[in-house]
Amino acid sequence: MMNIPNSSGPTSSTQKLQKLRDEMAEYGIDAWIIPSSDAHNSEYVAPHWEGRAWLSGFTGSAGTLVATKDKAALWTDGRYFIQASEQLAGSGITLMKDGQPGVPSMVDWLTEAVPEQGCIGFDGATLSLGNVRNLEKKLADKSVTLTFDHDLLSDIWADRPELPAEPVFIHEDYYAGKTLTEKVSDVREILRERNATELLVTTLDDIAWLFNLRGSDIECNPVFLAYALISSDSMTLFTNKERIKADALSALTKAGVELAAYDDILDRLSALPDHTHLMINPASTGYRLASAIPASVVLIEDRLPTTDLKAIKNSNEIERMQDCHRRDGAAMVRFMRWLEGNIPSGQLNEVNIDQQLLQYRSESEYFRGVSFPSIVGYAGHGAICHYRADEESAYPIESKGLLLIDSGAQYPDGTTDITRTFACGEMTDEEKRDYTLVMKSHIALATARFREGTRGIQLDAITRQPLWSEGIDFNHGTGHGVGYFLNVHEGPQNISPKWFDVALKPGMLVTNEPGIYRDNKHGVRLENIMLVAEDIKNEFGTFFKLVPMTLAPFDTRPLLKDLMTEAEIQWLNDYHSTVRDALSPLLDGDDVDWLKEATKHL
């Protein structure tokens, strides 16, 4: 059984669905949409916006719930198929495995479920302009009405949490590498090129990056609720002034930033002068915000310049991140030695392992919390991509099989995300083979040389080839961007079977995390954060490579060497040499001895 907050379960979900339907009937609404996002299109959200989880019982970070008067369905991606199946059981909500053959999209399902001249409702803050346009296009022939001014969840969610307002603090220039003024200057240059007079920034990590500020309004994500408007001669930050710490407030004032209340954004947008050329991203701008913009304003729609600028780490950030990953790697080594030594005791389970890993990381004075809730999955739990153990569900660790641990931390000089899978003792031939195949896939990406202009989908196919050759695949992306003391998932870059028209560029970070998951048996995933860097330039063009930032040993005990090529073994030996040289100065005594043994050449 999965950990479900807010005492939600099948009975609770059924009762909440009925309350929602009663409200829908009162307002004449035929279907109600509850996405996962907040008013900023965040992947992870504050409890105030966890309405989909509260109502359905499904707690994954991605999913959309739709309820009609007699049906309810929830769409989520491959990372959550197993988890959603367990959490939705008995709730009356049908799981829609998004992207699978024969599974209709949410919009296609709505097209069939909603009658002619029907009414579809949603909270206009949480559904983006882009999503609503797609909805309108698909439903154009049915003359459907959309209503978005009133959030029905507020009527039935009696103890709904308030909006967060945690302190906002400065992210020092020493870490950021560029001042607020320098970043805004870069943004304004792009606005001039695009003939835009104003920029609306709604995504929280873009705002935190641009203003060199951080917060803690969302668990694990050092961001704060805010909007921003940038023009050629003004900068306005919409957030509650009272929560900004004194030194951060002084820095903002010195840079010429105007401060306005968080809720003032609607009035400010509605008052934009005629023929303002406003740049927005329809994919991240809430429909309610977009509806406040006067028709006389010219919209320039594109990915925001802040998103692209943030994705390419500057030289200072890269240098600081190397410190961060060495520090995090040393903590991982201490943890790995402890884990190996304590598995035979029979006293370990998925929860106390997570607690011990947190303890080793928190011993650093730079530690600012985890970058996401750790995934500690033993045996069959390892096959649940985003499993989160609790005291009730935690498996005890036996001296056999595989243990998957996906974890990360936040530091002022970086964000980490690392997955290792460990041998707990005796392993089956299938476990060893799966582990080796995942290692081969990891190495396939780690050693890839690719030409300038390459998209993530191309690298995804390279990574999967060792698995595809055996008729095996995994149902999630190969890699994602990573923030710098920011969100652990960051765009626009992505390595995925899905098409993203974003070229990989030097300075971008991507994860390398292929896997194999066998339901109720085991899961294997091996993950490093990697930096895109220039490799060679010749008459055929400029070619890039991936440089590992993550520094921690891979468990070599499950490897079947006869399945690996000499080049693959050489890469692993070279990586382990790099790890040993980088981390040994940060360790002493038994930890150094353990590291030497763990990184010895195959």
Task: Please write the tens of the pLDDT for every residue from 393-423.
Answer: 899 999 999 999 999 999 999 999 999 999 9
Position 7 pLDDT exceeds 80: no
Closest C-alpha to 358, from 379, 383, 389: 389
Question: Worst-scoring range by mean pLDDT, 135-144, 287-296, 572-581?
Answer: 135-144
Task: Tell me, yes or no, if the two domains 10-156 and 169-311 fold the same way.
Answer: yes
- CATH number for 10-156 (one of 3.40.190.10, 3.30.230.70, 3.40.350.10, 3.40.50.720): it is 3.40.350.10
DSSP strands (E only) in 88-234: 94-97, 119-122, 145-147, 169-170, 198-201, 213-214, 227-231
Distance of alpha carbon 448 from alpha carbon 499, whole angstroms:
19
DSSP strands (E only) in 400-527: 402-407, 410-411, 414-415, 418-423, 450-451, 479-481, 490-495, 509-512, 515-518, 522-525
Task: Please write the tens of the pLDDT for every residue from 325-359.
Answer: 999 999 999 999 999 999 999 999 999 999 999 99
Distance of alpha carbon 105 from alpha carbon 468, whole angstroms:
27
Residue 596 to residues 335, 548, 570, 587: CA-CA distances in angstroms? 15, 19, 17, 11
| Mean per-residue pLDDT, 355-374 | 97
Query: In this structure, are strands 541-548 and 528-538 parallel, antiparallel, or unpaired?
Result: antiparallel
- Architecture in CATH of 315-591: Alpha-Beta Complex (3.90)
| Mean per-residue pLDDT, 137-152 | 91
Q: What is the mean pLDDT of the chain?
A: 95
pLDDT at position 9 is: 57
Higher pLDDT, 543 or 1: 543
Task: Please write the tens of the pLDDT for every residue from 89-122.
Answer: 988 999 999 989 999 999 999 989 999 999 999 9
pLDDT at position 11 is: 60
Q: Where are the domains of the chain?
A: 10-156, 169-311, 315-591
Give me the percent of the chain exceeding a pLDDT of 90. Answer: 91
Question: Worst-scoring range by mean pLDDT, 128-142, 242-256, 308-322, 427-441?
Answer: 128-142
pLDDT at position 10 is: 60
pLDDT at position 129 is: 96
- CATH code of domain 169-311: 3.40.350.10
Position 67 pLDDT exceeds 70: yes
Predicted confidence band of residue 14 (pLDDT cuts 50, 70, 90): confident
Distance of alpha carbon 472 from alpha carbon 464, whole angstroms:
9
Residue 453 to residues 276, 447, 456, 543: CA-CA distances in angstroms? 34, 18, 10, 9
pLDDT at position 141 is: 86
CA 251 to chain centre: 29
Query: In this structure, are strands 257-260 and 277-280 parallel, antiparallel, or unpaired?
Result: unpaired
pLDDT at position 3 is: 37
Position 47 pLDDT exceeds 80: yes
Predicted confidence band of residue 385 (pLDDT cuts 50, 70, 90): confident
Whole-prediction pTM: 0.93
Predicted confidence band of residue 1 (pLDDT cuts 50, 70, 90): very low
